[in-house]
Structure formats: C-alpha cells, structure tokens
Amino acid sequence: MIPVEKLVDHVRTYNPNTNVKLITEAYEYGKLMHENQTRHSGEPYFTHPIEVAALLAQQSLDDATIVTALLHDVIEDTKSTYKDVAKHFGVEVAQLVDGVTKLTNIELSSNDAKQAENVRKLLLAMSKDVRVILVKLGDRLHNMRTIKHMRPEKQQQKAHETMDIFAPLAGRMGMQWMREELEDLSFRVLNPEGRNSILRRFLTLRKQTEDVIPQITQDIRDVLVKANIEAEVIGREKKPYSVWRKMQEKGEGFSRLSDIYAFRIITHSEEDIYRVLGAMHHRWKAVPGRFKDYLSQPKSNGYRSVHTTVSGRDGKRVEIQIRTRQMHDVAESGVAAHWSYKDGRRVENPFAVDPFAWLASLTERFGGTDEQDHEEFLEHVKLDMFADQVFCFTPKGEVIQLPRGATPIDFAYAIHTRIGAACVGAKVDGRRVPLWTRLRNGQSIEITTAEGQRPQSSWADIAVTGRAKSAIRRALREEHREGFVRLGQELARVALEHVGKKPTDKALTTASKKLGLKNKAALLARLGSAEMTGSDLVGALYPELLMESKTDVDLPAAEILGLNPGQFAQPGQCCQPLPGERIVGIATRGKGVVFHTIHCEKLALYEDQTNRWMDLHWTKGRSDPVNNVTIQITIVNDAGVLGRICTLIGEQNANIADMQFTERKPDFYRMMIEIQVRDVEHLHHVITAVEADSDVADVKRTRARIVNTMSQSSKG
C-alpha cells in the first residue's frame, strides 16, 4: 500500500503549495471507512483508491481531484454519506465524489435502449464537472490492471464495457496513453490468442533484427545534430491492440505494416517542427500517402502534430511524429491539462481544447432526440468519441466536419436529411464519383439531387455516420414497413416456438416495452428488417430461457433476406460469399437467385442487366459452420509444420473439407485448403491464428476453388 507521505511528496513535485493536511485527512478517512474490506485479490480495499489517486497525481492534477480519488468509493461502499464528506472535506469534493458514485452505478453493459439512456446520464454527469470522469477513468484503469482476480464472465463484461465506452472516451478527452492501455487490457481479456500472436511476432522480429528502437533513435539524433536542431527523441513499439486494429483495417499481415514502431520528436518551437520534417525527408525517403499535418488541421480533441512515415534503417518503415513540448503535453494528458499544476500554479496550455465545449454540444444535440431512436444516439456518441475527423467543403465554401471514412452520402445527410434522401450522385473536386467513395481532408463536394428519389437499402452499408444510417433506416422502414411486419411476425413465431412459447399479442407488446420500442408493430418491423434478432426478443421476455439454451434462438443457419416469395438462393461458386459480407443477387430464369459478394468480378457480366439485380442481406445471428471458403497458405518445408497448421485450424472450430498442394519447393510449400466456417468473422479468426505461426510465410483468402485432379485425370 502506498504510504500517504509518498503520495504527498509526489504531489509536491508539481504543486509545492498543495494542501498536505487535506490530502492526509482524506487518506486516513478513506482508510478508516474501508477498514476490513478486501478486493477480489485479497488485498485491503483501500489499496485501490490510493492507486487511483497516484494515477491522477501522475497527471499533475489539483488537490480536489486527488482527494476525490481517495474517497471515490466511500459513499457507495461504506457508511459514509454525502453530508459526512461535505462536512469534512467541503462541498466541492462532496459533489465530485457523489458524481463518481452516480457514474459507478450506471449500467453500461445492457441492451441498446438502456445503454443509450445510461450513456446520456454519463455525458450529463461529465458536463457538470469533467474531473468526475477523470477519476472514473483512473478507477477503471486500475480495475482493468487487476481484472484477473474477477470471475471470467465479469472480466468479459468489464472488458467489453471498457472497449466500447471508456477507452474511446479517454481518447476523445485527449488522454491517448490511457486509451491505448485500456484497449490493450481489454484486448487481453477479449482475444488473448490474438494478442499473444502479436507479441510472438514482436519477439520473432527482435530475434531477427535485435532491438532496432535504440538504433533508429540514434539515427534520428544524428540527423538532428547535423541539421543543428535541438530536440528530444522518443521511440517505442506500438501496443498489441493498436497493431491488431491496423491489421484489421488494412487487411494486411503483421510483416506488411509500416508503423509498428513510432518515434516522437519533441521540439522547442513550431518553426522547428517543419525544420525537423525537412531534415527527415532529406535523409530518408518519405512513404507516399503517409504524411499528415495536424498543425494546420488539429484533431477535435486538441491534438496537434506532424506525422510522416519514412523508409529508414534497412528499409524498415517507421512513423515519426513531430511536435512541441506543449503539444506533447496535450497529446498525452488531453483534458487533464486543464487542471494540471506546475510550480504551484495552474498551467495555461494554449493548445488544450476546452472539453466543456464538446460535452455541451453533444448533450445539447441529443437533449431533444427521440428517446425511441437509441441506435442513432449510440452511433453518434461512439463515432464522435472514436473517429478522427475529415473536413470537406460545400460548393459555397462552408466546412462540413465528418468522421474518417465518411462518404458523399454522409456529407449529404450532414447538410440536411432532405438532401441526403434525394441524393442521386456526387462530384468530388469537380469529378463524378461513386457514392461509396471515401472522402479526404480538403475536398470540395457537390451533391446532385432529384425529385422522387428515395434512400436505397445499400446506402445503410455505405454510410458511416449515425445521422445518415438512422435516417436511411427510418426511410426504409417506412417504405417497406408492411412487408417487414409480416416477415417479423414469422421470425417472432420461429424464435418463440424454439423455446416452447407462443407469439401472443400480450407477449409481443411486453417485449416492445422492455426493448424501448413504441408498440408491437415497431418490434415486428425491426425483426423483419434484421435490425433485431430473435434472441433479442426471447432475451427480453424469457432471459432465463436464453441463458439455459446452448444454441441461438434465431434460425439455425444464416438465411437470405430480400428474396421474393417462392424464390430460393444459392451462393456463387466464383466468390464463395460468407455471412457478414455485402451480397448482391442475380435472378435466374427460374425461381432461383445466385448471390455474389459486392466485389465479385462476375457481376461485371450483368452490368447491362440491372433488372436482374437484387439487393440481398444475410439475417443477423448465428450460422452453422457449413460455409465453404478457400485459403492459400505458404509454409516452411519442415517436419511437423503441416500437422501444426491443421491443428491450429481445428482449434478455431473450423473443419478442413479439402486440401491441395499447388507448389512444392525445397524451402517452402504452397497449398490451398478448403475450410468450413460460420461467417466472415470466423474466417478472420482462423487466418489470424494460422498467420501467427512462425513457420507460416503467408496466408490469405482466395476465390479459386480446389479442383479434384484425380477425378479429372480419370475422365481423361
């Protein structure tokens, strides 16, 4: 347990005028209140508040925040009351402790309707005093560091909650170091094998190249000395989750990532930033498309820096971030910089963004939101917390701020819902582009509209903003509501009969209320439009039956939505579509429909036959592992490697249906393996597990099917 003297000494390093008596009394009061209480680990409970206080002291925060950290659980977990805290430590501290207590009691791991309302409460509590969330983030970080002592199911719940809410919130508040650690701690719980595969790759890389960070750091320092620039250089490996996320986003293997290492150069002035940039590009080749200037276009959380990626020592790509000391403080501490002290005084950092402005705009924006539209609220909040921003211009020069990855459809809906609904085309910088085009910073967008145009169902997959998605879904629900209700009635019947129940009017009305929907018709419409699953319905009415059931209550296998009555569908053998992928159907002369992935090359054959195209979707929910897909693997030619790869695939609950060697070399084999998986996510888990093996040179999905050479030769 950290002694109070050590905590006070640390606070004194940045605030010599600290109220030692107040912190000491809070320490003794908290210790007394939590006496005889223990944590899951068996340690005295008060070790937790002390660690939270120490975490916040590392951010150079004010006395009130440190005292609140020491007392943040006394109202909830002890006999102490709000009045007691106010009497001993003042109204300011009592209000902060009460705010943290209310945040702790908010249940964030719940259905969308309840979660949306609770996230609203969280944001409103933050808007009153942001220090409340700083203490709560410190509390969550220490709990995640010690999560191994919790029950497995509790670990999963807390990790999901942290990944969905608290980690992005820390990032949105500018506390990037905390966001990265929260994500990585959650990643360790949610996908331990994925995290271990990244760590194994790092270990292999170090064995092959030794520790390159000190080498590259010295290379950069030599360049700075030669250019007569004084600056600090810091090098590090990216966190495992950060690397994993890059692999997901780019669809690339570990070895092809360009920013596994990150180097920060801290300069004395803004002018030196561009001098350093010039020196780096003069010494090494810059990687095209990897330059970002967050000085001229700061992120919405106040982040300022210049990023570039260069081909450095031995051709290794390294990311370099260049910024001043004040910019670095904001990049590391974010909103905490508003309460930071130095030499006994509050530090005024000109680059820090006022967090109250963001919170005020967010709470004001959703203050009057229809409470039934929980999905829109959650998507807005999560995107607002997660996303980097792009700034695009209207033809009149107005700036529209959108999340990274936004499309012209998002741009149109950001201007006005009416513009989005009537959109028929877009021009980017004067050139006609498809509506799925990803927008970039600084582009000028012109939207073409037409009377009578209605939102298309494919738009919901193209759009990324909550505003656009929810508007499109509402329009589609209204247009197809009657059909969705009929389909929803059938899905409700199947789901409830699966657990021995009937879809009575009373049951459906009760379920709609529990799920926060207006009425039975709204519930059935969501079921029919695949925005809700049968398990959601059963879970609302009979949660105990859902827990007891070992199988999902939805249809036993993934099915296709969008077919006409009497039609049947089969997958195209050319692209082997999987549940979770965007699909398009091509109607045949009979009643059959062959469906393909949206990127299948064979669709080009039907470009002039658009009357045969059908917009199809997979139903949501579990599917049986009966979907065949082919992967191509290149492995080292060594004893035991093939057997190990087959075992890895089996451990991921995938079945090997066929196998064929396509190349046999002295040093490696290349082969195609046909496996059976549930969906595209299951396939990704298999590929990741195989790719993590040190004797696998390459693994990727291929659209080519295995040909049975024996049967062909017999025909000849």
Taking the C-alpha atoms of residue 137 and residue 139, their distance in angstroms, rounded to an integer, is 5
Taking the C-alpha atoms of residue 545 and residue 541, their distance in angstroms, rounded to an integer, is 9
Helices 47-57 and 4-14 sit at what angle, rounded to 10 degrees?
10
Residue 625 near residue 653, CB atoms below 8 Å: yes
| Annotated catalytic residue within 25, 43, 77, 84 | 77
Residue 540 near residue 515, CB atoms below 8 Å: yes
Taking the C-alpha atoms of residue 684 and residue 247, their distance in angstroms, rounded to an integer, is 11
**Tell me, what amino acid is at 134?**
L
Q: Which residues are CB-neighbours of 6 under 8 A, at least 6 positions away?
A: none
Q: Between the CA of residue 253 and those of 256, 258, 260, 656, 704, what are the distances in Å?
A: 6, 11, 12, 22, 20
User: Angle at the Cα of 48 (from 44 to 52), degrees rounded to 5?
Assistant: 160
**What DSSP line would sit under 318-343, residue for residue?**
EEEEEEEHHHHHHHHHGGGGGG-EET
Fill in the DSSP letter of residue 306. Answer: E
Which helix H or strand E contains 462, and what residues bound it?
helix 459-462
**Residue 403 forms beta bridges with which residues?**
389
Q: Which residues are CB-neighbours of 47 under 8 A, at least 6 positions away?
A: 1, 2, 39
Number of helices and strands (H, E) in the chain? 31, 22
Q: Which residue shows structure tokens 């994500």? A: 183
**What DSSP line would sit under 138-171, residue for residue?**
HHHHHHHHTGGGS-HHHHHHHHHHIIIIIHHHHH
The number of beta carbons lying within 10 Å of the beta carbon of residue 145 is 13
| 698 catalytically annotated | no
Residue 111 near residue 513, CB atoms below 8 Å: no
Residue 595 near residue 615, CB atoms below 8 Å: no
| Annotated catalytic residue within 25, 28, 43, 76 | 76
What six digits make up the tokens of 267? Answer: 């300069």
Please write down the HEC assignment for all residues of 233-254: EEEEECCHHHHHHHHHHHCCCH
Residue 313 near residue 345, CB atoms below 8 Å: no
| 679 catalytically annotated | no
Taking the C-alpha atoms of residue 121 and residue 126, their distance in angstroms, rounded to an integer, is 9
Residue 393 near residue 443, CB atoms below 8 Å: yes
Burial class from Cβ neighbours inside 10 Å (0-12, 13-18, 19+) for residue 398 reads exposed
Q: Which of 694, 673, 696 is nearest to 683 (CA)?
A: 673
Active-site amino acid positions:
76-77
